[in-house]
Chain A
Amino acid sequence: MSAPERFERIGATRIVADPGALDGIEAPDGGHLLRLAPDDLLVLPPPDRVDVADPYALVEPEAGFSAAWFDRSELPRLQALSAWEFPRRRPAPAQGHLAGIPVKMLFDVGGVLVLVPATLAHHLEERLGSQDRLE
C-alpha cells in the first residue's frame, strides 16, 4: 500500500438533538451525513446554515476529527487491520476500530473516507504504516 495521505483535521458540524429532528436533516450538496447515534449527527462539510426542529438541539462546529481518503485499492489492507467486516453496499457509513483506534468510515464507490479523533490521528497514521518510528 502506498503511504496514505497525512490525516488532516477537518471541519464539520455536530448536532445532538431529538432523533426525530435529526431525521429531517439533509446532506449538503456534495456532502455527507454520518449518524453517530440516534441523537447524534455529523454533517460534512459544515453547512452554512442548518435548521433543527428541536429548540434544545446542540449544534456545534466540530473540530475534533482528522480525515484521510483511501482509494478502493487500499481497502484490503485496511480490512486486514479491522476485526469487523466492512460493509459491501455503497455508499455506506460505518464505525468501529481500525488498528485498535476508533474510527468512523464513509464508504463510497471509489474508496473510503476515514475519520479519526484528531487526538489519535498520529497513532493511526503510524499503525497504517505511513510513519516508520516508535513512539
Chain B
Amino acid sequence: MIDFDGTPVPFEEGDTVLTAVLRAGLWPWSGCLCAEGDCPYCLVTLEGTSYVRACRTPASDGAKVHSHPTDGYPALPPPTRTPTPGSAVGFEMIHCDTVVIGQGRSGRAAAAEAGERGRRVVTLDARVGREAVGVYAGPEVVARIPDGMARIFCEEVVVATGSAEVQPVCPGNQLAGILTRRAAARLAAAGVDLGRVVSIGAPPEGVEHQPARGRLARFVGDGTVERVVTLDEETGAERTYPCDTAVVGLGSGPRDTLARMAHGLPGVRAVGSAAGSLDRPPVPEAGVVCPCSEVTVDDLRSVWDRGFQELELIKRSTLAGTGACQGAVCMPHVRSFVAAGGQELPPSFTARPVVTQITMGEAAAGWYHHADRRTALHDEHLAMGAVMERSRGWWRPWTYGDADREYWAVRSGVSICDVSTLGKTLVSGPDADAFLERIYPSTIAPIRPGRAKYVLVLDERGYVFDDGLVCREAANRFLLTSTSAGAGHFEMWLRDWADAWGMDVRILDRTTSWGAINVTGPRSGELLSRLGDGGRLPSFMGHTRMEVAGFACRVMRMSFTGEISYELHHPASRSEGLWRALMESGADFDVWPHGLEVLEELRLEKGHILVGVDSLSDSTPRRLGHGWAVRMDKGDFLGRHAVARTSRMDPDRLLVGLEMDGAPPPQGAILRVKGDYAGFVTSSTWSRVLGRSVMLAWMYARDGGFGGDILIEGRPARRVAAPFYDPEGLRVRA
C-alpha cells in the first residue's frame, strides 16, 4: 500500500504512483494528464520532497504521498541545521564516448550504432530512473541516476527523447478527467477504469471510446469533466458529449528541451521524433495556456496589445513557460498565437538547465565546501588547546585560551606564532632585478644581499592589493613574501607579468613547502641564540641562513608585532620539531604562543595595515598613508601612471589613526563630524599596553580637509599619528 493523502492505495508490481492512484478510483489532479513526465499536473510531494511527478515515480510499499495544494505552493520542508550523516545525495563522474538520452526506438538504434563503432556508450532513460536534467558544453550531461546524481563526460550526445503530446487549450481544460491519447492507452492497459470515454482528434489505441466530431470547443464539469463540447466548423453548431473521461489526440511535437539546451554545442544532436517538427495546434481562443504560471489566452492578448509581440518577450512578460513543465504545455500554443499575429511560426524559446525539478541536495551533489588549508602545525595547535579559526583560506589558531598571557608574552618576554601562511616566492634569473623593479613601486637595486625591504604591490590602476618584503639572497636571487590572502595567486601573477614583459626569470612558490614560525618579544634573541648554530642573528630588516635547534632555517628579522621578531622559514616537514624545540628551550622564559586575536591587537598598536581589511579595492598608497613606499624617481613600475595621475588630485579620503577612551568601537563603526557621515572604522582594539582604544579608519574629506571633532557611536575620538605604540621604532631595532 501507498499512503496517498491519508488514503491507503494498493498497487501492482510495475505501477507508478499515478497508475495506482487512478486505479483506486481517485483522481486528485486537474488538467490533462500525459503520464509521460511532460505536463505539470501530476506533481506530488513524496516523503517530504515536492514537485515529484507521480507518473515517473514507482509505487512502493509504505510510501507517503501528498497531492500538491490546488491553491498556492506545497510547503517547504522544515529547516535542518545539522546535516544527517549519510544524507548526502550520491554522486559520481562518468567518462564515456557517447551518451544516448532516451531509449525508445531511435534511442536504442543510436546506442546500438555507437556500440558497433566501438564507442563506450551510456544510455539514459527517465522511465527507468536514469534521467538527464541538463546538457552542458564539453559535452557534459548531468543526470539523476538510481544512486544519486552523475556528471557524464563524453564526446557526443544523442538526444532521442521522442515527442510530447499537444495539450488542449480551451475553457475547462483545467478540469480533472482529461487525458492525452497515449496516457489513456497506457492507463487503460494498466487496468485503470476510465468509464465512458469520449475522444477528440486522433483516437487512443486499445481504449473503448466515442469519437467526438468537430473542433474542440470546451470541457464542461464541476471539478471533473462531465461533457465535451465540440463545434462544427462548417455550420457553427455545437455538439455535446457526456463522458467520464475525455481523451485528446491533438498531435505532438518534439520533446526537445535538452536538444535546445545544447543548441550550438558541438557533439550534440537530436534524432528521431526529438528532431521532428511540431504538429501546430490551432490558435488558442480561450482558456489556460500555461498552467504553471496560470497564464490565460486573455493574458497573451493583453501583453500582445502592449507591444510584447515576440516569443521571448511574451515569455518574460507573462512568465509562460517558466514553470514546472518549462513550456511543455504552453509552448506549442504560444507559438501558434504569435504566428497568428502575422508572423512566421517562431522557433521554440531558449531552454536552460535544469529540465526537470531537482532537490537542493541533488543540485549540491558533488560539490564540496571550501577547502581551507592547514599548516604543518595544525595538530600541534590543537594539542595546545587552540581555538582554530578560518582566516583567508587557512585554518589558524585564534587563541590558545589566555589572550592576556599571549599578549604579555610578546610585549615582555618571548612568544611564537605560526606564520606559515605567509606567501613565500623565490625569484632568480638574469632579469630578476629588472623584473622586480617593474613589479614593485620601491627601488630594488639598493637592497644588498642579506637585507630586505617592505614593499607595496600595486595593480595597473595604482591600487594596493598586497604587501610584503623583498629579501635579496644573492645578486640575481630574491625571496619575496606576500600576505596570507594573496599567497594563493601571487606566483601566477608574477609569472603572468614575466611572460608579458619577456623577462628571463625563474619563479617558484614556496608557501606550502616552507613553514614559518615568528619568534617575537624582547627575549626572542636570547632564545634563538640558545638554539642557534653559533652564527650571528641578523639585524633589523636583515636575513640569513642558519640552523635553529638543528633545523635549517632562513632567519628573517622584521616585525609585525612591534617587538624584536625573527621569522624562521624552514621545510614544512620540520615545523613540529622546530615548534617543540622553541617551546621546550624557552620554558624558563615562559615562552607562550599567540594566536590571531592577539596578533591583531599587536599589529594595530604598531599601526600596521592589513591589506584587504584596512584597504579598499581602490586604495592608493597615498590614501593609505604609504606614499613613502612609492618612488616616482625610479623607472617604470606597475601602476606608475595611475599613481602619477592621482597624486595630482587632492585626496578625498585617508586612512587615519584614531584613539578613544573606553571600549573599542566595532569594525565598521561610523565616524561623524558635526553630525555628518565622515568615514568608518576598519580595525579597532583595546590596547592593553596603552590603556585606551586605538583604531584605523577611513576618513572622508570635508570642506577640503580632514579636520573637525570626531564622534564614533556618540563618543569622542582623537586623531593621532600611527604607530600608537613605540612610534620611534626603538623596540623593534633594539
What residues of chain A have their CB less than 8 Å away from a CB belonging to chain B?
9, 11, 14, 16-18, 39-40, 54, 56-58, 60-64, 79-85, 99-101, 117-120, 122-123, 127, 132, 134-135
Contacts and interface: CB of A to CB of B under 8 A. Distances in A.
A63 B430 contact: no
A58 B428 contact: yes
Contacts of B504: 56
B85 interface: yes
A127 B506 contact: no
Given A14-B508, A60-B510, A123 B93 contact: no
Interface string B161-189: 00000000000000000000000000000
B513 A39 contact: no
Interface in B554-581: 571-574
Contacts of B83: 134
A80 B369 contact: no
B371 A56 contact: no
A93 to B, nearest CB: 19
Contacts of B506: 16-18, 39, 54, 56-58
A39 B94 CA distance: 33
28 contacts: A9-B573, A14-B508, A16-B507, A54-B506, A56-B476, A56-B506, A58-B426, A58-B428, A58-B506, A60-B426, A60-B513, A63-B514, A64-B510, A64-B512, A64-B513, A79-B93, A80-B92, A80-B94, A83-B153, A85-B95, A100-B368, A101-B371, A119-B394, A120-B373, A122-B378, A123-B368, A127-B368, A135-B369
Interface residue SS majority, chain A: loop
A82 B93 contact: yes
Interface of B: 83, 85, 92-95, 151, 153, 367-369, 371-376, 378, 394, 426, 428-430, 432, 476-477, 504-508, 510-514, 571-574
Contacts of A14: 508, 513
Contact of A123 (B153, B371, B429): B371
A99 B368 contact: yes
A39 to B, nearest CB: 7
Nearest to B94: A80
Interface centre among B371, B428, B511 (most CB of A within 10 A): B371
B281 to A, nearest CB: 42
B151 A83 contact: yes
Given A9-B572, A101-B371, A118-B572, 9 more contacts: A17-B506, A56-B504, A60-B510, A61-B571, A79-B93, A80-B92, A83-B93, A122-B378, A135-B369
A81 to B, nearest CB: 7
B386 to A, nearest CB: 16
Contacts of A120: 371, 373-374
Contacts of B476: 56
Contacts of B511: 64
A56 B373 contact: no
A71 to B, nearest CB: 19
Nearest to B393: A119
Given A11-B573, A99-B368, A118-B572, A80 B93 contact: yes
A56 B428 contact: yes
A100 B507 contact: no
B472 to A, nearest CB: 14
B93 to A, nearest CB: 6
Nearest to B368: A100
A80 B572 CA distance: 32
B11 to A, nearest CB: 34
Given A58-B506, A120-B373, A63 B513 contact: yes
Contacts of B572: 9, 63-64, 118
Contacts of B428: 56-58
A115 to B, nearest CB: 12
